[in-house]
Chain A
Amino acid sequence: MKEIVIFSLVNEFYGVDIKKVKGIIVYSQLLITPLFHEKEWIVGIANIRGEVIPIIDLRKRFGNIAKYSDETVVIIIKTDADKWMGIVVDFILRIDLVDIENIKQPNLLKGIEKKYLEGFIKTPEDEMVTLLNIDLLLNIGEI
């Protein structure tokens, strides 16, 4: 069993291992400084507990339109490369325990390249959740 944070990105549910998550912050409360010459999905950089970290809008990353509402949150991720990064998501569904034995290999492509997906999983509540390979997704070469 694995505890994952389930969030929504453009009407689909995704999950990341809670061990990677260092915090969740409401988007509207963050002061984000834009960086001008960066890719459009790099919203900018923000100060999270004294760390200067980049904020990445995954919705823009995969070519969707990003809407910002009061529910929009930033999940702070600590990657394998020991970098702190924030990802913007539509909302947090909940934190759930899932059975990792039941990961199904990805077969569908929903705008996100297959290599960034670890597989699909069904929650006890019967939702389909896509597990993200967040370390690859947030690799400096990839963003």
Chain B
Amino acid sequence: MDELKVIFIEEAEDLFENISSILYSLENRDITEDEIDSLFRDFHTLKGGSGSVGFEQFVKLVHLLENFLDELKHHKITYSPKMVDFLIDTTEELEVILKEEAEGSLDNNKVEELLTKIKITINSFENNSKEDDLEIEPINIEIEDGDEIIDILDKLKLMISNSSLELNETFRLIHTLKSAAMMLNLNSFKEFISIVESVLMSMRDNQEEDEVLIKDIISSFLSKVETILNNELSGNSFKNEKIIEKFSRQFMKNDEFEIFNDDKGFVLFDEEPKVIKKPKKKKEKLQKQKTNSKQVQTKSFKDLISSSSIRVNLEKIENLMNRVGDLVITKSMLYEFANSFDDYSIKNSFYEKLDVLDRNVRELQDSVMSVRMVGMESIYSKLPKIIRDISKKLNKKVNFEHYGDNVEIDKLMSESLIDPLTHILRNALDHGIETPEERIKLNKPKEGTITIKASQESGQIIITISDDGRGIDGDKVARKALENGIITEEEYNRMSDEEKVMLIFSAGLSTADKVSDISGRGVGMDVVMNNIHSIGGNIKIKTKINEGTTFIISIPLTLAILDGLNIKIGEFNFIIPLNMIVESFQPIPKIIKHIAEGGYEILMLRDEFIPVIKLYEFFGIKPKYTNLTDGIIIISNVANKKVALFIDEFLTQEQIVVKSLDKNYKKVKGISAATIRGDGSVGLILDVVDIVGESR
């Protein structure tokens, strides 16, 4: 596919996402004018974009919706909640159509059918809203977005530097600018433009083209417009008052003008201007001269208005990240090199400088990381659709609330999060939330509530999903697990309530009394756990019968670079991610308990029994120490259960660049990934979750 099409499709995905998020938020309330505007703009952009890259069928369909929204916008049709459903359904179909047209698998009959369907539906809406014929003038506004403002300002800049400010053209541009400002609700900016507009208009009305005045006012306008916009966009509109006042005094001398400040600015063509400047009747045309007019600075508008973003291929960012990774490796090489100096003063001054480098590299890494970050809203926007579909199917009523839309998360991680979150939501809807009848019996509000929150805490992102449903009966889960042979009788007796609840993540377990097509087949929750583990995260559950369940997912901020602790077993070094370590110590004999059969050892630590995994046994390495009291114990937390890893000793703590083993090889038992050490060798990062799983 050609590149333009690809770019458009990417853009279209964003637009669709935007459209859906507005539409889904409308289930319980009326649409606002702003939202209609926003929808109209999105469809308009979709139409423009698809037309320019040649998706002809798609254009036809979008065009209908754009018209429909235009009518809605100008109150030719009265809004009714039914329209939301219509728009949701049609938007979904449009997404499919676009995909099919891009793939070349589009069936034209289908398009015709859909066209007719849309037309009929829109017609029926139109007929239902006949009551109001107080039509407002149809107004033709071109594109109402920030880009246009920039375009116009650029045009004006160009015109002024070429001294080609022709009155009609200038007026047209200023007028469009004002409409755009109104569209964007930039009030003080609009006010500012109105002054220019009224000056130009009076010139027009008097058929008096004063080139000098036009140039004056435009150049003065351009020189101040940046400040005005800056203030307005940063919420400091009040600062603009003075500037505007001064500007109006400068150009509307002796109160010959009033500030033109009504909201119907763009119907002025047909209206008498409120104030007319006394005609001076000098209709002489001035010769156009090339003057070296001052270059007007407009550079920062772009950052400010056009949502200040660019589209970058993820691969390029990946590449950038890799380069930073190389830098981190080079840095550790230098540390190693510094270590080889015998002279202490050289060594220390070298270290000092390296520490500066270290800080800079970390900062660079943070900045590059931040490029890859996206808001949680990119995940949230996908969820309402799922909830709507499922709750309709199940005949349950649910409110969906989300918080922390602006919490940022690594784009790659956000992709691996969608599946697990969807699954948890499905389960919450299917098993958690009761039917309205049940809820009424339980004295709960008829509508259930599912809340999802995201926050950033100490280098981790915490996502919680809560429902106010029936909660998870740990005992029931554990009995089921016992039936299915997932746990033994003995384990069953020993398990805490919390551990029993965690059993829902075991493969092949479902407590649903009947299997539905939404959930209940017992596949899923184990996948959820695996997915979360694969991005280095963890899940906890809090639940209370009849009060609800909360899933707490914690994931690291990034997967690319992590802080690790170097450990030694025999003559081999490994790295254990710092976030996996709860505590570490050299055990005293008193806390080591021996289990009779098999010579297993467990630790008794503050009333907790913690199983010991001897890593030398796991990897088959000849260790330096075999006695627990000689070596070091690292306590790690896996799926809410503590385990003790036994190693010989630990070495330095280090920032490491994660290199996947899958890329050139495959997943290796007990190892989550590799890294490149300062000496150029490959270091292995322990996969604690895997080790615990394999050791059971």
Contact = CB atoms under 8 A, between A and B. Distances in A.
A37 B619 CA distance: 7
Nearest to B322: A50
Contacts of A35: 668, 671, 684
A45 interface: yes
B676 A50 contact: yes
Contacts of A36: 619-621, 669-670
A136 B670 CA distance: 27
B680 A47 contact: yes
A31 B669 contact: no
Given A33-B683, A37-B669, A50 B664 contact: no
Contacts of A1: none
A85 interface: yes
A84 to B, nearest CB: 5
Nearest to B679: A31
A47 B668 contact: no
B673 to A, nearest CB: 9
B399 to A, nearest CB: 47
Contacts of B326: 50
A47 B682 contact: yes
A81 B691 CA distance: 29
Interface string A37-73: 1100000111100111110000000000000000000
A44 to B, nearest CB: 8
Interface in A66-95: 83-85
Contacts of A84: 664
A31 B665 contact: no
Contacts of B664: 51-54, 83-85
B578 interface: no
Contacts of A109: none
A140 interface: yes
Contact of A45 (B322, B572, B621, B674): B674
A44 B681 CA distance: 11
Interface in A1-55: 31-38, 44-47, 50-54
Interface residues of B, number: 26
A31 B676 CA distance: 11
A140 B676 CA distance: 23
A50 B658 CA distance: 11
Contact of B670 (A37, A45, A54): A37
A31 B682 contact: yes
A51 B665 CA distance: 11
A52 B619 contact: no
B666 interface: yes
B665 A47 contact: no
Contacts of A53: 664-665
A140 B666 contact: yes
A84 B665 CA distance: 8
B282 interface: no
A33 B670 contact: no
Given A47-B682, A50-B326, A52-B682, A38 B668 contact: yes
Contacts of B619: 36-37
A45 B676 contact: no
Contacts of B681: 31, 33, 46-47
B323 to A, nearest CB: 10
B668 A37 contact: yes
Interface size range of chain A in the complex: 20 to 34
A140 B663 CA distance: 11
B659 interface: yes
Nearest to B681: A31
Nearest to A35: B668
A38 B619 CA distance: 10
Residue in B572, B664, B671, B682 with the greatest tally of chain A CB atoms within 10 Å: B664
B374 interface: no
Residue of B661, B668, B682, B684 with highest tally of chain A CB at under 10 A? B682
B677 to A, nearest CB: 8
Contacts of A32: 682
A47 B661 CA distance: 11
A11 B372 CA distance: 52
A45 B682 CA distance: 7
Contact of B682 (A33, A38, A83, A140): A33
A52 B656 CA distance: 14
B252 to A, nearest CB: 66
Nearest to A44: B682
B632 to A, nearest CB: 20
A95 B659 CA distance: 33
Interface in A95-141: 140
A58 B663 CA distance: 21
A83 B676 contact: no
A52 B620 contact: no
Interface string B607-621: 000000000000111
A36 B659 CA distance: 18
A83 B661 CA distance: 11
A140 B664 CA distance: 9
A31 B573 CA distance: 13
A48 B185 CA distance: 57
Nearest to B675: A52
A53 B663 CA distance: 8
Nearest to B573: A33
A140 B684 contact: no
B286 to A, nearest CB: 66
Residue with the highest number of chain B CB atoms closer than 10 Å, among A32, A33, A38, A140: A33
Contacts of B680: 31, 47
A44 B683 CA distance: 11
Interface in B296-340: 322, 326, 329
Contacts of A85: 664-665
A53 B620 CA distance: 22
Nearest to B671: A35
Contacts of A44: 682
Nearest to A54: B665
B306 to A, nearest CB: 37
Contacts of B572: 34
Contacts of B679: 31
Nearest to B694: A37
Contacts of B661: 45, 52
A79 to B, nearest CB: 9
A37 B661 CA distance: 14
B51 to A, nearest CB: 38
30 contacts: A31-B679, A31-B680, A33-B684, A34-B572, A35-B671, A35-B684, A36-B619, A36-B621, A36-B669, A36-B670, A37-B620, A37-B669, A38-B668, A38-B669, A44-B682, A46-B682, A47-B676, A50-B322, A50-B326, A50-B676, A51-B659, A51-B663, A52-B661, A52-B663, A52-B665, A52-B676, A53-B664, A84-B664, A85-B665, A140-B666
Given A46-B682, A50-B322, 20 more contacts: A31-B680, A33-B682, A34-B572, A36-B619, A36-B621, A36-B669, A37-B619, A37-B620, A37-B668, A38-B668, A47-B680, A47-B681, A47-B682, A50-B329, A50-B676, A51-B664, A52-B676, A83-B663, A84-B664, A85-B664
Interface of A: 31-38, 44-47, 50-54, 83-85, 140
Interface of B: 322, 326, 329, 572, 619-621, 659-661, 663-666, 668-671, 674, 676, 679-684
Sorted nearest first, the 8 A-B pairs with minimum C-beta distance are A31-B681, A37-B669, A54-B665, A33-B682, A36-B619, A52-B674, A83-B664, A52-B659
